[in-house]
Amino acid sequence: MSCKKSTIRLLILLLCLFKGIVSFGQGADTLYKVPNTPFLAKIISLVDLNTSINLSEASKIIPLNNTILVSNAQLLIKNGNNIYVLIEQTGIVYKLMRFDLNSCEFKRLDHTVNLNYNINCKNFIYNNELYSYGGYGFWKTNGCLRKFNSQDSEWDIIPLNKEVISTYYLWFSEKQGRLYLPYQKIVNAGIAGPENIAGVPIYTSYYLDLKTNKWEKLGNLEKSVIEIVKNDNTISEYLAYSEGLLHLVNDDAYLFDYVHNKVYKSKNADLNQFLIRRAKILDMFIYKDQIYSYQSGKKEFITYPLKLNDFELLRTSIWGSELMFYYLLLGVIVITSVIIFSIWFFNRSVKRKLQIEQLKILRNKSITQAFTVIEIALIKMLLNASKKNEPLEIHHINHVLGLKDKNVGLQKKVRSDVIKSINDKYEFITQTNISLIGSSRKLDDKRFYEYFITPSELSTIQRIIEKIKQ
């Protein structure tokens, strides 16, 4: 009897142990109803808040105890009224569906199977769609852009014009639709050498344009900024603000302004200390020039003002162009421009002198003698048409000039010579550089031109024509 009881106890013990193992090995549920904590209530109340928040263990929202994901960090993304919680390194996405004073209900949106390919990736929202860029997985970093497909509940890859490898100094501007990447750090443990495990830096700056899905080169990281990132040995995370990142580097706070390509360094020791004590930047975000930090023990937020006058502007930009190349290119352009301008000015001077010599005979003539009979006839016809806002076509010009039966080549030459003669004489008479007769391509057939009197010269040529009549 005693042996039988012992056997039963052993079976019960094994059953409980097996149940615990199975429970721990299970995945995340599709629906979680969690308490509406002061932390969540505050985030929900800030309707216009757009930010990402790294959650501490105490503030984790999705209860993944007894699952294989219990140790994974969680990231909260707030975009207007939408709140998402991403289980990091997985691609698993939960969305806040409804809430009341006591509870919040989160529903899983994805059907993700593959895990750990996107460690430390950049998650962000653009045009109400969820994106994931870069990250580390399977022994190497990547520069892949992924977008969550809400119809299929899967992540889709977005083809880009090139692969630019991600790093930590990433910042996304929802207003511009740009993902800024000051430099790359390529990790590939599949290639021999300790540098490939630590990461090989490439100090070329880019931004990814989400409108075109193309990487655009900004320039090269400035030497002084390279020294900052090289010496960045802290465990500090990055806080996004309206124009870039707030980041703690070896006990000094820096503002990296990606919009204006500027770097600021904190002069405020109290601000530095505030950030040093919160180096992991958990449960923190910036909202309307205030740094919010949640105290899980007290279940309340404390704030610290973020003021630009607490920072000094460093004498460097974040990235700069390849100066020597551009200086050389600028020098070539300047020299070429000077040569071209000199040739143009010389030719213009010679041409102008010839024109003046040709038109000197007009000095001894009255205005009424300036134009030939044919030129006056053409001017009158153009003047009458321009008053009615009806440009003349080529066949009208040819008719007045008596060219209607001539070949096309002769028509074009005579027409051009007569109009040029009229314009030259008119400029000389009026002492301006304004042509009397203008032309433009027809709207319905771009092969042909229409001719008209320049609108600003209608009254002037009218007076000249009236004198001719007298």
Task: Identify the CA nearest to 122 among candidates 152, 153, 165.
Answer: 165
Domains of the chain by residue range = 365-469
262-282 residues labelled b (16+ CB within 10 A) or e (exposed): bbbebebeebbebbeebeebb
Query: If you count them, how many residues does the chain have?
Result: 470
Rounded CA-CA distance 101/96 in Å is 14
Residue type, 417: D
395's tokens: 């066949």
User: How is 111-146 classified by DSSP, letter by letter?
Assistant: -----SSSBT-EEEEETTEEEEEEEEETTEEEEEEE
Task: Identify the CA nearest to 395 among candidates 385, 408, 384.
Answer: 408
- Topology of the domain comprising 365-469: Arc Repressor Mutant, subunit A (1.10.10)
CB atoms within 10 A of CB 317: 19
Rounded CA-CA distance 219/182 in Å is 9
Rounded CA-CA distance 66/73 in Å is 15
Strand order from edge to edge, sheet including 449-453: 392-393, 449-453, 437-441
Say if CB 173 and CB 286 are below 8 A apart: no
Strand order from edge to edge, sheet including 284-286: 284-286, 290-295, 300-305
- pLDDT tens per residue, the chain (470 residues)? 455 445 555 555 445 444 444 444 456 789 999 999 999 999 999 999 999 999 999 999 999 998 889 999 999 999 999 999 999 999 999 999 999 999 999 999 998 877 777 888 999 999 999 999 998 888 899 999 999 999 989 999 999 999 999 888 999 999 999 999 999 999 888 889 888 888 899 999 999 999 999 999 999 999 999 999 988 877 678 999 999 999 999 889 999 999 999 999 999 999 999 999 998 899 999 999 999 999 988 999 999 999 999 999 999 999 997 554 566 677 788 888 888 888 877 776 765 665 455 445 444 455 556 778 888 888 888 888 888 888 888 888 888 888 877 888 888 888 888 888 888 888 877 778 888 888 888 777 777 788 888 888 888 888 877 766 55
Residue type, 222: E
pTM of the model: 0.62
Rounded CA-CA distance 442/463 in Å is 29
